[in-house]
């Protein structure tokens, strides 16, 4: 047997005429069965035309079916989302949907969650290397002078993206330029990459300074990684959700008084500080991941979207004020996976599909996260955390 034949034997089959057809998908499932002995019966059962995943998935062979639950309604008092919404949550973790549902009941009866989108920008951060730091500094001054031309070059690549500003960070003989864009209702990472590439090509062609090395990503945008710079300067949407719960309501629904919950919040915050955590809350990643998968977001963005600052305070009348700030929530109502059939339906449940809806979606997710934070914090404090998982979270 020749080497080339051995390679072909293990090569995933493709149809060069139409690789997004039921036949092409079946061909790959057959290939997997031949290679592994596993029959993909459930993965091969889906209700949409495989053509719909073109641009979202290569080597398509089927679907990974994640259980989909619904929580709510959550009452949102936002600038873009007002009213009550049922939230789709895709998860394989027992108790998760029930916990968020309980938190939504609490916040709903307390009058709802007030949500604010304080900032909205997406980044790409190229780096330029020079012979020394002085040249890098002079290059940075030249960049500031050339902003109109740089903006024109970047924005020529996109219909909706706008270059808002460029941050400068100098280290050694490197200059990192953090390009900040508004991206409409798309998440915008690819949009920003394309626009920044065009801007940098203009810079390289016109700068009077000798650039020794250049990289389109200097890793200061920290794409799909949590970071302090994005905590401070925001990436995606900076969402702040807050709610004040009366002590009587806290006792009735959560089985704990506000003062006791506040005291436990202090201990929890201290523990997060000692651990060096990028989130001092309970489990923002749970709610974000479940809604992201349900609505066709890029699930890898959870890595930075779950960064957060949770704050709890006792009010003068012994109520409990709680807020969660998500400085880098990356979500979209248009583009990417949002147009896939199941994911679009989930967005439409909340009237969050299409143009002009991304800020509304961000506010609903922020309110959802807050509800889950209150529910889990109370469950941990009362001991319900363990018993709930014992009741709902085990396969019997």
Domain ranges (residues) in the chain: 16-65, 68-120+232-391, 126-215
Q: What is the mean pLDDT of residues 56-79?
A: 97
Catalytic residue among 168, 197, 233, 389: 389
Q: Residue 93 catalytic?
A: yes
Give the C-alpha separation, 18 to 158, whole Å: 29
% of the chain exceeding 70 in pLDDT: 94
Tell me the pLDDT of the chain averaged across its residues: 94
Encode 321-335: b = buried (16+ Cβ within 10 Å), e = exposed: ebbbbbbbbbbbbbb
Q: What pLDDT sits at residue 388?
A: 56
pLDDT band at 2 (very low <50, low <70, confident <90, very high): very low
Q: How would you classify residue 349: left for phi > 0, otherwise alpha for psi between -120 and 50, otherwise beta?
A: alpha
Residue 156 confidence (pLDDT): 98
Q: Which residues of 241-268 are buried (b: 16+ CB within 10 A; e: fewer)?
A: bbbbbbbebbeebbebbbeebbebbeeb
Q: What is the pLDDT of residue 207?
A: 98
What pLDDT, on a 0 to 100 scale, did the predictor assign at position 318?
A: 94
> What pLDDT does residue 10 have?
83
Of 64, 65, 82, nearest in space to 73 by CA:
82
Residue 326 reports pLDDT greater than 90: yes
Q: Is the pLDDT of residue 3 over 50?
A: no
Contact 89, 96 (CB under 8 A): yes
Q: Give catalytic status of residue 298 as yes or no.
A: yes
d(CA 307, CA 7): 44
Q: Which residues pair with 77 in a beta bridge?
A: 82, 114
- What is the CB-side half-sphere exposure of residue 220 using CA atoms within 13 A? 23
- What's the confidence (pLDDT) of residue 6? 47
Q: Output the pLDDT for position 383.
A: 77
Band of pLDDT at residue 161, cut at 50, 70 and 90: very high
The pLDDT score that the predictor gives to residue 391 is 58
Contacts of 307 (CB under 8 A, 6+ apart): 226, 227, 230, 231, 278, 279, 326, 327, 328
Which of 93, 155, 167, 351 is flagged as catalytic? 93
Indicate if the pLDDT at residue 311 is higher than 50: yes
Can you tell me the mean pLDDT for 37-54? 95
Question: Could you report the per-residue pLDDT of 81-109, keeping only the tens digit for each?
Answer: 999 999 999 999 999 999 999 999 999 99
- What pairing do the DSSP bridges indicate for beta strands 82-90 and 113-124? unpaired
- Are 358 and 83 spatial neighbours (Cβ–Cβ below 8 Å)? no
Q: Which helix (H) or strand (E) holds 28?
A: helix 22-36
Catalytic annotation, pick one of 30, 155, 167, 298: 298
- Annotated active-site residue 233? The verdict is no
- CA-to-CA distance for 286 and 122, rounded, in angstroms? 23
37 φ/ψ sector (left φ>0, alpha ψ -120 to 50, else beta): left
Nearest to 313 by CA among 242, 252, 370, 383: 242
Contact 335, 187 (CB under 8 A): yes
CA Rg value for the chain = 24
What is the spatial distance between Cα 28 and Cα 14, in angstroms, rounded to a whole number? Answer: 8
pTM assigned to the model: 0.93
What is the tens place of the pLDDT at every residue in 124-140?
A: 999 999 999 999 999 99
pLDDT band at 7 (very low <50, low <70, confident <90, very high): very low
Q: For position 394, what pLDDT does the model report? A: 56
Token pair listed for 383: 């001991």
User: Check: CATH 3.30.70.100 for 126-215?
Assistant: no
Instruction: Count CB atoms within 10 A of the CB of residue 379.
Output: 23
The CATH number of domain 68-120+232-391, selected from 3.30.1330.10, 3.30.420.40, 3.40.190.10, 3.90.770.10: 3.90.770.10
């Amino acid at each position: 047997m020749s080497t080339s034949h051995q390679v072909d034997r293990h090569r995933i089959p493709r149809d060069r005429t139409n690789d997004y057809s039921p036949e092409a998908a079946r061909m790959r499932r057959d290939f997997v069965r031949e290679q592994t002995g596993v029959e993909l019966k459930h993965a091969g059962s889906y209700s949409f035309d495989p053509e719909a995943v073109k641009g979202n998935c290569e080597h398509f062979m089927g679907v990974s079916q994640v259980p989909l639950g619904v929580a709510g309604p959550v009452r949102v008092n936002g600038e873009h989302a007002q009213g009550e919404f049922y939230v789709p949550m895709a998860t394989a973790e027992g108790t998760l949907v029930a916990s968020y549902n309980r938190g939504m009941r609490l916040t709903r009866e307390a009058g709802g969650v007030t949500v604010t989108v304080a900032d909205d920008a997406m980044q790409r951060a190229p780096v330029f290397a020079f012979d020394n730091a002085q040249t890098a500094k002079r290059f940075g001054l030249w960049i500031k002078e050339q902003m109109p031309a740089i903006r024109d070059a970047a924005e020529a690549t996109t219909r909706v993206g706008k270059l808002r500003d460029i941050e400068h960070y100098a280290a050694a003989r490197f200059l990192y330029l953090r390009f900040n864009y508004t991206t409409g209702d798309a998440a915008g990472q690819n949009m920003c990459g394309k626009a920044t590439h065009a801007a940098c090509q203009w810079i390289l062609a016109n700068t009077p300074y000798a650039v020794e090395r250049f990289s389109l990503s200097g890793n200061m945008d920290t794409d799909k990684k949590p970071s302090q710079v994005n905590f401070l300067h925001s990436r995606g949407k900076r969402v702040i959700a807050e709610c004040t719960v009366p002590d009587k309501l806290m006792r009735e629904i959560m089985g704990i008084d506000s003062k006791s919950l506040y005291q436990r919040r202090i201990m929890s915050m201290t523990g997060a500080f000692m651990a060096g955590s990028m989130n001092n809350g309970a489990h923002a990643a749970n709610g974000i991941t479940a809604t992201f998968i349900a609505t066709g977001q890029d699930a890898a963005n959870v890595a930075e979207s779950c960064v957060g600052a949770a704050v709890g305070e006792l009010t003068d009348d012994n109520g409990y004020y709680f807020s969660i700030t998500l400085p880098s929530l990356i979500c979209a109502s248009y583009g990417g996976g949002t147009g896939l059939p199941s994911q679009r339906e989930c967005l439409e449940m909340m009237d969050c599909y299409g143009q002009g809806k991304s800020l509304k979606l961000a506010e609903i997710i922020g309110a959802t996260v807050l509800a889950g934070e209150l529910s889990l914090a109370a469950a941990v404090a009362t001991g319900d955390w363990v018993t709930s998982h014992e009741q709902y979270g085990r396969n019997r």
